[in-house]
Amino acid sequence: MPGLIGKRELPTILLIDDDMVSREVMATVLTMGGYTLQTAVDGAAALELLANPAFVPEVILMDAQMPGLSGTGLIAELRARSRATLIAMSGSNAPGEVAAAADGFLLKPFGSDELSSLLERRETQAGPAALEPVPGTDEPVVNAETLAQLRAMMPEAAVRQIYAAIVADLTTRLEALKTAIAIGDIAEVRRIGHAIKGGCGMAGATQAARLGARIEALGVLAEAEKGTTRGGNDLDNSARLLADLRRAAHNLKRMLEAEFPV
């Protein structure tokens, strides 16, 4: 995490809550606890703040249930615009999909000590050089055998170029996938998933290839359910999958920097 805690510099916070009283009380409590923060009245306002390159929060606190852009949809948008630690908060238990997609959860009311403790636990568990986990898998970022084969076939610079191209392609496809899901373009979701599965699979990028297969299957399932009572609800629950793919792309970039330093 970019921000430092405890006796070190406290992270900058973006606080998102549609309830004015809750928002102002939390802002006051956290400011008194030494945090610097900006507040947003809803998801749309938060995205406007993040559009300003001068504002780069290290922690985002978001109410788990708000009108308008909220829940996993808001989480996906925040992930696309920020690398901040994202913590959901609520006066009751958060919806399961929101708690799963966020990096942590705090039950209201809470103070600066509870927030600091949560961030300290996350920093301790992650470690300074840990790769971001892709939930549900312990597979390597890149298949060691495939990597060795590529290195035997071509110069290091060429192998690096292959993985750099995959990282760039994943970044582009993530944006295209987010758009396809937003407009309900099931065929495009399936096509993007298939392309990720094939390209990453050929290069042994196992985490990303597995997620590409899941995305392709999601598109197939949604296509089969068109016109039924479910009507593509699986696409509405795709924020977690987008977040997982973003983590896999980040892990691949980290691997590239470690294995093939410039």
In a domain, residue 135? The reply is no
Q: List, for residues 101-156, the tens digit of each pLDDT value.
A: 888 888 887 888 888 888 887 766 554 444 555 555 556 888 888 888 888 888 89
Q: With 70 as the cut, is the pLDDT of residue 256 above it?
A: yes
Q: List, for residues 73-111, the tens digit of each pLDDT value.
A: 888 889 888 889 999 988 777 677 787 788 888 888 788
- 119 with 37, same domain: the answer is yes
Residue 219's domain is classified under what CATH number? 1.20.120.160
* Mean local confidence (pLDDT), 241-260: 88
Instruction: Check residue 178 and report its DSSP letter.
Output: H
Position with higher pLDDT, 174 vs 95: 174
- 119 with 189, same domain: the answer is no
Q: Return mean pLDDT, the chain.
A: 81
For residue 37, the model assigns a pLDDT of 92
For residue 9, the model assigns a pLDDT of 72
- 85 with 179, same domain: the answer is no
Provide the number of structural domains found in the chain. 2
* Single residue among 61, 92, 126 that ends a domain in this structure: 126
Q: Which residue has the tokens 């997982």?
A: 244
The one-letter amino acid code at 212 reads: G
- 243 with 151, same domain: the answer is yes
- 148 with 244, same domain: the answer is yes
Q: With 80 as the cut, is the pLDDT of residue 8 above it?
A: no
In a domain, residue 112? The reply is yes
Per-residue tokens: 74: 């808001």
Residue 97's domain is classified under what CATH number? 3.40.50.2300
- 117 with 162, same domain: the answer is no
* Single residue among 126, 154, 189 that ends a domain in this structure: 126
- 178 with 225, same domain: the answer is yes
For residue 242, the model assigns a pLDDT of 84
- 161 with 239, same domain: the answer is yes
Domain span holding position 70: 12-126
Band (pLDDT 50/70/90 cuts) for residue 71 is confident
In a domain, residue 88? The reply is yes
Q: With 50 as the cut, is the pLDDT of residue 4 above it?
A: no
In a domain, residue 133? The reply is no
For residue 226, the model assigns a pLDDT of 61
Query: Angle 169-174-176 (CA atoms, 0-180°, nearest 5)?
Result: 95
* Single residue among 126, 157, 189 that ends a domain in this structure: 126
- 195 with 237, same domain: the answer is yes
* pTM for the predicted model, two decimal places: 0.50
Position with higher pLDDT, 5 vs 255: 255
Residue 185 main-chain phi, psi, to 5 deg: -85, 85
- 78 with 114, same domain: the answer is yes
* Mean local confidence (pLDDT), 165-181: 90
Q: List, for residues 185-233, the tens digit of each pLDDT value.
A: 888 888 898 889 888 888 888 889 888 888 888 767 666 656 544 444 4
80-111 burial: b if 16+ Cβ within 10 Å, else e: eebebbbbbbbeeebbeebebbbbbbbeeebe
